[in-house]
Structures are given as C-alpha cells and as structure tokens.
Structure 1
Amino acid sequence: MTDQRMLTGDRPTGKLHLGHYVGSIANRVKLQHQYETWLILADLHMLTTKNARSDIDEISGNARQMVLDSLAAGIEPERATFYLQSAIPEIGELNTLFQNLITVPRLERIPSLKDMASDASKEEMPYGLLGYPVLQAADILCVKANVVPVGKDNHAHVEVTREIARRFNHLYGETFPVPELVTSEVSTLVGTDGHAKASKSLGNVIYLADSAEEVRTKVAAMYTDPNRVRADVPGTVEGNPVFIYHDAFNDDPAQVADLKERYQAGTVGDVEVKDKLAAAINRFLDPIRERRAAFEAQPGLVDQIIVEGTERTRREVQQVVFEVRKAMGLAGAYNQLRRKAERAQKKPATQT
C-alpha cells in the first residue's frame, strides 16, 4: 500500500445514487488500490442546510446506508477508513485556525455555494455555508490527503483547500501536502426529470439500492425529447436524459448506437428505448445489489466499520493538530504562561 492518501466522502442525507457513482464513487473504487483511502461521513457539512433535530436524528441511519452503498459499489472495507466527522472535534479546531487564511470575498466567488443555498430554499446564506469550503479544507488536510476525487461541483471547493495548504506552509513551514484533484469521466449526471443535476432533494435519482422494479418504474417516467409526440417522429439524442444514461450505464455499445440511429430516424419508440435502458441499469446494479445483501447479512458490521474508522481517524487528526499548533507557535504561548504561573506559585512570600 502506498503512503499517499485519498480523502473524499458525502453528507449523510440519505442513500447514494447513480449521480454519486459517476461523480466520485467509480473513481474511489479504482483509486482505493493506489492510495490509502479515507472516506468521510460529513454530517457537520449536512448541518449547513439541514440542521433540524429531525435531520440530526437521521444521521446514524443515513451513515449506515451510505457505508453499505459504498461497500456494495466496490469499496473494500480492509482498504478504506470510514469516519463520522462530528465525532472528531479536532476537525473543528483546524477549521477555526484555517478561517483566518482565506477571505470572505474569495469564498463569495464560489458559485456552488449559492446553488446549495438555493436548493435548500435559503433566502440568505448561513455563515456555516459560506465557510463550507474551509471546513472541507480541514477535512482534507486533517489526514494530510494527497488526492481528492470529487464531482465537478466541488472543484472550486478543493481549490480553496489547495490555497489554504499553500498559505499555511508559507506562513508556518511545510506542514501539509497540496492535494491534487481527480476528476471523473462523467462529472455530473442529469436528473431523470431532465433537470441539470441528479439530486436527492429533487427526487430525480435512481438509487444504488433501488430494486429492479423501482428502476423500471423510474426509467419509464424519465424525461425525453418533448417535441417527439409519436414514435415515427425523428427525435433528438443530444442532451436527451435517456441516452445520457444509456451512454453512462449500458454495457452494450452496439445496442446504444442502434437505438440512437433509429431514434433520430423516427423508427423506434420511447418505450423500447426505455425498456432497454432499464435492463441495462439493472445489469449494472445487479452485482451491487448482491454485495449489499452480503454485507447486510452481517449484523453490526457496518457500525463496527464506522466506529473503528472514526477512532483511528481521531488519533491521526490529534497528531496533525499537535503539529499545526506547534508550527504556528500556539502550543508555546500557553506553555510560557503556565511555566511563569508555576514559578510564581513556588516563589516564597516576601517577609514584612
């Protein structure tokens, strides 16, 4: 195993879906053999948009589902360390220290933050959401990650991490690696309703845990060419969600090419195109379903994976925080005060 590290993860807001798979999970599965792998269950990030008590009560259950999805998708438990972000308070300390290495105008230039606020129906941006990339920098640098596989919408966030790492190293000495971005071949996946992005909050996703029947139902309802009112009308393939999913998940390229040709010629109906897409997605998901069932059949395994990973990560982060405080001189400041206070206590009282 290399000593190079990879850090990535998701907010525990529910099960993972095909958009997650193409955006980052496929890369995680591939890269776990090249890097020491750390996967964060980012519940503190979740609080920036979902912080009701009812949301918080769902964290543990959602975390379990996300780990199950990751293992089912091909992450090997012996190769990865899963950890719950909120159980490591030292990450918050790093976040506080990093806040002073970036400016508000720099964070305000990140367009995805405004999109996140809008998706969460926030009329004004919470302070925590504006600082989302700074906390993300703490996540990445707390284990000194070298690479970060993320979807397109997180590129700007990781660039903030790179800036903070360089700034810290410049001010206090070489402490952190400057992590590299690893992008996926399909960075984002369109929603089944034709929306620009597949999103749990919009309900336009196919989950990795969906049954074969659920997949068929969702595919049958997928948005397609709105101008195609009959099967004999030539249709548009470019930008058509059904064909975007065919390209991403159909393991029979000859079938996809034939469907595209006939669709553009007006010699195939939407029903056949969708039926073959549903079959293709189910072929893709079948081995994932089998692995998920195998892990689910081991009671307590996922909880053990999360707890052991969290405890291991906290030990790592505590060492990094010690190095950070030492590099900054913060450890010495209090030690000087303490030593002087101890000397004053030992000094004999002046005789009158």
Structure 2
Amino acid sequence: MDHVVLTGDRPTGPLHLGHYFGSLANRLALQGTYPMYVLIADYQVITDRDLPGEIQRNITELLLDHLAVGLDPARVTIFRHSAIPELNQLLLPFLSLVSVAELRRNPTVKDEIAHSSQQAVNGLMFTYPVHQAADILFCKGTLVPVGKDQLPHLEMARLVARRFNERYGEIFPVPEAMLGERPLLGGLDGGKMSKSRGNAIPLRATEDETAALIRRARTDSERLITFDEEGRPEVANLLTLASLCLGRPQRELADEIGYGGAAALKRLVTDAVNEFLGPIRARRREHTEAEAHAVLEEGNRRARERAITTLDEVREAMRF
C-alpha cells in the first residue's frame, strides 16, 4: 500500500528530546519513502490557552528545529493551519458525523483539559479531536506517527472517515497509527515530558543549559543505580534518556554506574545528551530565518493545493 504520512506539532515552544524520540525520528526514517505532510498547528495553540503567545517567533523556531534535525523540505511538505482555510472548512461536515457523548469520552481531551491554563474549557478544545481528523484527512493521510496518548485522537479520525464514506461515498482512506518502538520518555520531574510543564530538554538547548536542566532532574537517595521502572521511575527515566542517546541498554548503563549514585548518573546523562545534540545544534546554525520562512511559504502552497482538491471532492459527494 502507498501511504501518505501526516504528522505535526503545536507552536507553543521549542521541540524537545521527547518530541525527537517520540515522533521526529519516525519522520526522518519515513521522509522520501512516502509523501509526508508536517503540520504546524497554530490554530490548535488556542485550544488550551486564552492567548497564542509569541506565535510567530514560536513558528520560526519550530521550523528551525525541523531543519536542524534533518527534515528535507524537498521531500516533506511543512505547512501551517491558518494558511489553509480549505482544511479548516472540513471541520463543519466532520462535526456532523460525531455525537457530543463521543467528544466527551475522549481521554486525551480530558488530560489536556486537566492541564489547561484556561479558566473555562472552550469549544475548540472540545472539538479538538475532530479538528485533528481534518488535519489527517485533508491530504488523505493513511499513516500517522503518534504516541500512545494520541491514539484516541486517531481513533476519532478513523471514525470520521468511516462514517463519511458510509453516508456520502468512498472518499477517505481509514488512517492507521504508527507507534514508535522506542520507550516512552518522561519529564525531568517524573511526569509526562511537555513544553508547557517546563520539564523537557529543548533540542536547541546549549551544553550548559542542558547540564543545568539535568542537574535539577528528580532522582532518589539510593547509591546503587538500578533500572527499575516501577520501583525507581525517576532513575529509570534518566537511564532511558541516556540509553536512547547512546543506543545502549538501560541495565548496561546502570551496571556501569554502580554505586556512583545520582551524581554519576546525571554526569553520564549530561554527556550522552550533549553528544547526541551536537550535530543538531551544528545544523541549526547553518539555517537562517529567511530560509525557514521560504520553506513554509512553499509548503503552504503545496498543502493548500491538496486541501482545495479534497474539499471539492467532499462538496461533490455531499451534493453541495
């Protein structure tokens, strides 16, 4: 089967190592194999906050992060929500295909609401999964690299595709999830790694900034370092971070540290992360903001062509 890949990020802050191992590595592996669309989801920034913040600066930094990790604009279409009105018009017919009860049950929305900075949940947050269905289906996306926490959103896109096809005729493929094989990376405070929770290591962090972040990471008081995900989750998370950066098993690294305690563990993790981020930092210095904006302008043009075609098909199928 020839796939079309859809993935993306919200421009709420810098991309971090959780993004890299959770999704960016998959994008790098897939680019050139299948057509790929990478969405900068600027409209979705206001799902869980009242103001978008430094939206233009965040978009520029996000573009530079994408180029720094090695995404090739010649093989990948990078675009932003607000530049593609036809994509967002798909939200209206798609909303008619799902019930309020189905929206209320979405566990990812419940989690996002719990960590929202808003005083009250807005309608965009409530319909967030259907908006993501439009993101996936506008380009006839069939393969969506996601983390396990995003599977309910993808299931909504699958539901919308099936119901549209049943009601109006076969237009959309039913997308599939592509789950990463790498272990889930937690935040430095023991929670979920997140830009908004301030517990992540940004890809653009300097060596000194990286070291300072890891020094503050939560561990425990035991001198002997062991890999025990249930009994010692914070230590296990740091070992996993080093493991991902070095390509070595967690238990092997734990045995190497032995009775060195938290200080030795953090030194190892700091060295591993800085070595891993070195080439990414170097590539980032090679790209200019003007180059990033040109990449986005061309990506917007290509994505909008695709969205116009899909919206025309939808209108025809619905006899509009």
Q: Same fold (TM over 0.5)?
A: yes
Match of 2:306 in 1: 316
Match of 2:26 in 1: 27
Offset at 1:318?
0.8
Match of 1:176 in 2: 172
Matched, 1:283 2:275: yes
Match of 2:244 in 1: 248
- C-alpha distance in 2, partners of 1:109/1:184? 25
Match of 1:346 in 2: none
Q: Are 2:243 and 2:253, in contact at CA under 8 Å, matched by a contact in 1?
A: no
- C-alpha distance in 1, partners of 2:130/2:183? 23
- C-alpha distance in 2, partners of 1:163/1:252? 40
Highest RCO, 1 vs 2 (Cα 8 Å, sep ≥ 6) = 2
Offset at 1:242?
1.7
Q: Are 1:114 and 1:125, in contact at CA under 8 Å, matched by a contact in 2?
A: no
RMSD over aligned Cα, in angstroms?
1.8
Classify the secondary structure of the residue corresponding to 2:8: strand
Instruction: Compare 180-189 and 22-31 and name the one that shifted more.
Output: 180-189
Classify the secondary structure of the residue corresponding to 1:207: coil
Gaps of 5+ in 2: none
- C-alpha distance in 2, partners of 1:191/1:133? 24
Residues 8-87 of structure 1: matches in 2 within 5 Å? Answer: 8-52=7-51, 55=52, 58-87=54-83
Q: Structure 1 residue aligned with 2:106, among 106, 110, 121?
A: 110
Offset at 1:213?
1.1
Q: Structure 1 residue aligned with 2:181, among 159, 181, 185?
A: 185
Structure 1 length-normalised TM: 0.85
Offset at 1:51?
3.5
Matched, 1:329 2:302: no
Match of 2:216 in 1: 221
Structure 2 length-normalised TM: 0.93
In 2 relative to 1, CA 92–252 (structure 1 residues): closer, same or farther, beyond 3 Å? closer
In 2 relative to 1, CA 295–32 (structure 1 residues): closer, same or farther, beyond 3 Å? same
The one-letter code of the counterpart of 1:309 is: G
Offset at 1:152?
1.7
Q: Are 1:41 and 1:85, in contact at CA under 8 Å, matched by a contact in 2?
A: yes
Q: Are 1:83 and 1:306, in contact at CA under 8 Å, matched by a contact in 2?
A: yes
In 2 relative to 1, CA 187–159 (structure 1 residues): closer, same or farther, beyond 3 Å? farther
- C-alpha distance in 2, partners of 1:328/1:258? 59
- C-alpha distance in 2, partners of 1:16/1:81? 18
Q: Are 2:4 and 2:142, in contact at CA under 8 Å, matched by a contact in 1?
A: yes
Offset at 1:186?
3.1
Offset at 1:261?
2.5
Offset at 1:90?
1.3
The Cα offsets for residues 217-262 of structure 1, whole Å up to 9 and x where unpaired, read as 111221112x42xx3xx35532222212122222354xx5454126
Classify the secondary structure of the residue corresponding to 2:283: helix
Matched, 1:261 2:255: yes
- C-alpha distance in 2, partners of 1:30/1:235? 33
Match of 1:198 in 2: 193
The one-letter code of the counterpart of 1:79 is: R
The one-letter code of the counterpart of 2:197 is: L
Classify the secondary structure of the residue corresponding to 2:260: coil
Offset at 1:74?
1.9
The Cα offsets for residues 32-51 of structure 1, whole Å up to 9 and x where unpaired, read as 13210100010111111124
Classify the secondary structure of the residue corresponding to 2:303: helix
Matched, 1:212 2:207: yes
The one-letter code of the counterpart of 2:30 is: L
Classify the secondary structure of the residue corresponding to 1:83: strand
Q: Structure 2 residue aligned with 1:307, among 297, 302, 311?
A: 297
Q: Are 1:150 and 1:183, in contact at CA under 8 Å, matched by a contact in 2?
A: yes
Classify the secondary structure of the residue corresponding to 1:21: helix
Offset at 1:322?
0.5
Classify the secondary structure of the residue corresponding to 1:39: strand
Offset at 1:281?
0.7
Q: Are 2:201 and 2:213, in contact at CA under 8 Å, matched by a contact in 1?
A: yes
- C-alpha distance in 2, partners of 1:162/1:257? 39
Match of 2:132 in 1: 136
Q: Are 1:250 and 1:277, in contact at CA under 8 Å, matched by a contact in 2?
A: no
Matched, 1:273 2:265: yes
- C-alpha distance in 1, partners of 2:252/2:153? 40
- C-alpha distance in 1, partners of 2:254/2:119? 42
Q: Are 1:251 and 1:280, in contact at CA under 8 Å, matched by a contact in 2?
A: no
The one-letter code of the counterpart of 1:61 is: R
Q: Are 1:117 and 1:123, in contact at CA under 8 Å, matched by a contact in 2?
A: no
In 2 relative to 1, CA 181–258 (structure 1 residues): closer, same or farther, beyond 3 Å? closer
> If you compute each CA radius of gyration, which structure gives the higher value, 1 or 2?
1
Q: Are 1:23 and 1:152, in contact at CA under 8 Å, matched by a contact in 2?
A: no
Q: Would you identify which runs of 4 or more consecutive aligned residues in structure 1 move more than 6 Å? A: none
